[in-house]
C-alpha cells in the first residue's frame, strides 16, 4: 500500500491560502482517481485499490497525529507515504521531490517527523514563494492566492497528477528525474 497525504487546514476560510496547497493539489488527484472521501483517522480519508488518500483535519501544525493513525492502522512504513505541501522558500511554480530532510520551518512536516519518529519519507514540496519583504512567513502562507496564482495552482495540480502516478508506478527516483524543478 502507498499513501498520498496532502497538508492543509480544513476550514473553508483557508481553502485558497498558500498553506492549503497540499489540499488543492490533492483535489485534482482525488477527482482524477475518482476517490470518495470519508471521515477517518482525524482526516478526510479515501482508499482505492492499494492507494490511500489522506487530508488531515487536525490543522497543519498537528498533521502528524492523523498521519501516524493511518500508518499504524495500515502498518505502513515511512517509505510508503508521499506528503504534498507548500514551501514558501521555493519559487512559485516549482516542484521539489525529496526523500528526507529537516522540517525546514514547516510545522506540518515538523509534526509528521515528531509523530512517526523519522525525517526519512517522500515529500513533494510545492513552491509558493518567495515571501515578499513586507510579509511575515505566517501572514504570507495564510494569505490567499491571487487569481493568477490560483490558475497556476490549477496547472500545477494537473502536472502533480502525472507526478503522483509516476511515483506510485515507478518510484521516487524516476519521479524526481522527471518532475523536479520549475514546472510552470
126 has which bridge partners?
A: 86, 95
Tell which phi-psi region holds residue 35, choosing left (phi > 0), alpha (psi between -120 and 50) or beta.
Answer: beta
Active site residue 19: yes
Are the CB atoms for 67 and 35 separated by under 8 Å?
no
- Cell numbers describing residue 76: 505502513
- Give the 3-state secondary structure of residue 45: strand
Q: Which of 4, 5, 9, 19 is catalytic?
A: 19
Q: What size, in residues, is the chain?
A: 184
CA nearest 108: which of 41, 8, 25, 12?
8
- Residue 19 is classified by DSSP as G
Give catalytic residues, as residue numbers: 19
Amino acid at each position: 500500500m502507498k499513501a498520498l497525504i496532502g497538508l492543509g487546514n480544513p476550514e473553508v476560510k483557508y481553502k485558497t491560502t498558500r498553506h492549503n496547497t497540499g489540499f488543492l493539489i490533492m483535489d485534482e488527484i482525488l477527482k482524477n482517481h475518482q476517490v470518495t472521501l470519508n471521515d477517518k483517522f482525524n482526516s478526510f480519508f479515501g482508499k482505492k485499490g492499494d492507494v490511500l488518500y489522506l487530508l488531515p483535519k487536525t490543522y497543519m501544525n498537528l498533521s502528524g497525529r492523523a498521519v501516524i493513525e493511518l500508518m499504524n492502522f495500515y502498518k505502513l512504513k515511512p517509505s510508503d507515504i508521499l506528503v504534498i505541501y507548500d514551501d514558501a522558500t521555493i519559487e512559485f511554480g516549482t516542484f521539489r521531490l525529496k526523500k528526507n530532510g529537516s522540517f525546514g520551518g514547516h510545522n506540518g512536516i515538523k509534526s509528521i517527523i515528531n509523530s512517526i519518529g523519522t525525517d526519512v519519507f517522500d515529500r513533494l514540496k510545492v513552491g509558493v514563494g518567495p515571501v515578499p519583504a513586507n510579509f511575515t512567513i505566517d501572514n504570507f502562507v495564510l494569505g490567499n492566492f491571487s487569481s493568477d496564482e490560483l490558475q497556476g495552482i490549477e496547472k500545477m495540480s494537473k502536472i502533480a497528477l502525472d507526478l503522483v502516478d509516476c511515483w506510485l508506478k515507478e518510484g521516487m527516483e524516476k519521479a524526481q528525474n522527471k518532475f523536479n524543478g520549475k514546472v510552470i
